[in-house]
């Protein structure tokens, strides 16, 4: 098992006791798909922190973030019947859903208010002391931080603006003042480098 896969598994099981049987998030989702509310409560325990953190990074506004987190977690319940483990991990499925929902919200907000968020002063990841984090999430955060530094500035900024701030690649191209084609390529190259650094396998 790759390191990243191990982390996904570890994040998905916060119980620190090594003797505790590890129930995979995928198996929990299968139970949720059959209407098991107790299994859903466990999925909530494991996934809500990552979902909420990501949504807050994208939306920033605490009230809206809570609303979207709630929508996403409810949607995990509603659509667990459609999770297909052949398409990827349960965590990736949930996080993709969370990101899409947050980005939808930020884009509809932006078009409504034409609000432009400035680049300056944004930190790449929240400070350690902001979060009461599990050991696994701490390790993950460290690994991501380390791997992000292995990217070129343009790769890192493109990924940061798109993923953490919900910008389209056109907006990223304008904000960084580089051609569209370059942004697309940097996003792909940067993610591939991150994938290799984090040891992700599909």
Partner 1 sequence: MTDPHALSGAYAVGALNETEQAEFEAHLQSCAPCQIEVRELLETTALLGIAAAQPVPPALRAAVLDEVSRTRQLPPVVVSLQAHARKRGFALRRWSLTAAACLAVFTIGLGAYAGQLQHENSNLRHRGDQVAALQTAADARTITSADGGATATVTVSRSANQMEFLSSGLSMHKGRTYQLWLIGPNGPRSAGIFSTDNGKHAPRLFTGPGDATVLAVTEEPAGGSAQPTTQPIIKVPLPTA
Residue at token pair 């078009």? 111
198 is a contact residue toward partner 1 (CB under 8 A): yes
C-alpha to C-alpha distances, 121 to 38, 64, 125, 155, 161, nearest whole angstrom: 42, 22, 12, 18, 13
Minimum CB distance to partner 1 smaller for 26 or for 75: 75
Inter-residue contact 103 to 58 (CB < 8 Å) = yes
Reading the block at residue 31, the tokens are 């139970």
188 is a contact residue toward partner 1 (CB under 8 A): yes
> How far is Cα 3 from Cα 128, in angstroms, rounded to an integer?
22
191 is a contact residue toward partner 1 (CB under 8 A): yes
178 is a contact residue toward partner 1 (CB under 8 A): no
Per CB under 8 A, contacts with partner 1 among 43-82 are: 44, 48-54, 56-57, 66, 69-71, 73-75, 77-82
Instruction: Compose the 107-146 pattern: x for residues touching partner 1 by CB under 8 A, - for all others.
Output: -x----------------xx---xxxx---x--xx-xxx-
């Amino acid at each position: 098992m790759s390191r990243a896969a191990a982390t996904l598994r570890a994040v998905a099981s916060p119980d620190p006791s090594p003797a505790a049987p590890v129930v995979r998030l995928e198996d929990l989702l299968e139970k949720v798909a059959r209407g098991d509310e107790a299994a859903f409560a466990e999925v909530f325990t494991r996934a809500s922190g990552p979902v909420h953190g990501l949504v807050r990074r994208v939306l920033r506004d605490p009230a809206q973030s809570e609303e979207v987190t709630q929508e996403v977690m409810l949607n995990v319940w509603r659509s667990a019947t459609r999770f297909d483990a052949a398409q990827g991990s349960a965590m990736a499925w949930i996080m993709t859903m969370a990101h899409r929902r947050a980005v939808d919200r930020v884009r509809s907000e932006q078009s409504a208010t034409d609000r432009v968020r400035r680049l300056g002063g944004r930190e790449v990841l929240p400070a350690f002391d902001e979060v009461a984090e599990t050991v696994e999430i701490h390790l993950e955060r460290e690994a991501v931080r380390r791997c992000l530094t292995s990217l070129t500035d343009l790769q890192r900024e493109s990924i940061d603006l798109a993923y953490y701030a919900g910008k389209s690649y056109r907006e990223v191209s304008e904000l960084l003042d580089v051609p569209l084609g370059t942004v697309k390529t940097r996003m792909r190259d940067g993610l591939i480098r991150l994938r290799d650094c984090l040891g992700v396998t599909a």
